Amino acid sequence: MASAAKRYAQAVVELATERGTLDAWQRDLNTFAEFMARQDMAPLFQSPNVPQEQKEQMLDTALADAQPEARNLAKMLIARERLAIVPRLVVEFTRARMAVQGIVVADVTTAEPLSALGETEMRARLQEMFGKQVEMHLHTDPEIIGGLIVRVGDQLIDGSVANQLRQLRTRLATGAITP
């Protein structure tokens, strides 16, 4: 299922990149996924008793503001009975769109929430470090005591007080104290 979602996502990214509609596609796919996630929709779309035309009409209504190509994709997924891949398709599309647009995701964990100014400064520093646009996902965890932890892709920057204390504890235990 994941590979099918990835193939659809890649095809959509190529089309959207060619036409300059990546952001519109993101919006349309999010709307489609939210619609399909409604508890009252899943049984209707899975039921063989609901005619194909009725399913398509419901989608046309839900995706009235979407691009025609997005509605076509939705109808194709209905016809091919592939609606189960929609959540994964959105994840794969988002990942590919961000790569194309040169955006990285930074998961930033602090002991207390950042102020608006702190958020702006953090984003600017991360953009400088990585040379790309940064989308920050902010988290708070009082157990880190202070400082912050940043994860971008497979890179981890742990500047937390809890980590510094762990390192100090290890150096004290092993006698590896350096001035």
State the pLDDT confidence band at 147, using cuts at 50, 70 and 90: very high
Band (pLDDT 50/70/90 cuts) for residue 1 is low
pLDDT band at 178 (very low <50, low <70, confident <90, very high): low
Q: Which residue reads 């046309």 in tokens?
A: 60
Q: What is the pLDDT of residues 8-38, one digit of tens each?
A: 999 999 999 999 999 999 999 999 999 999 8
**Domains along the sequence of the chain with CATH:** 2-99 (1.10.520.20), 102-174 (3.40.30)
Which 3 state secondary structure label does DSSP give 149? strand
pLDDT tens digits for range 103-142? 999 999 999 999 999 999 999 999 999 999 999 999 999 9
Kind and range of the H or E run holding 139: strand 133-140
Q: Degrees (nearest 5) of the Cα angle 50, 61, 83?
A: 55
Q: What are the φ/ψ torsions at residue 84 (nearest 5 degrees)?
A: -65, -20
Angle at 89 between CA 38 and CA 83, to 5 degrees: 50
Q: Assign 78 to helix, strand or coil.
A: helix
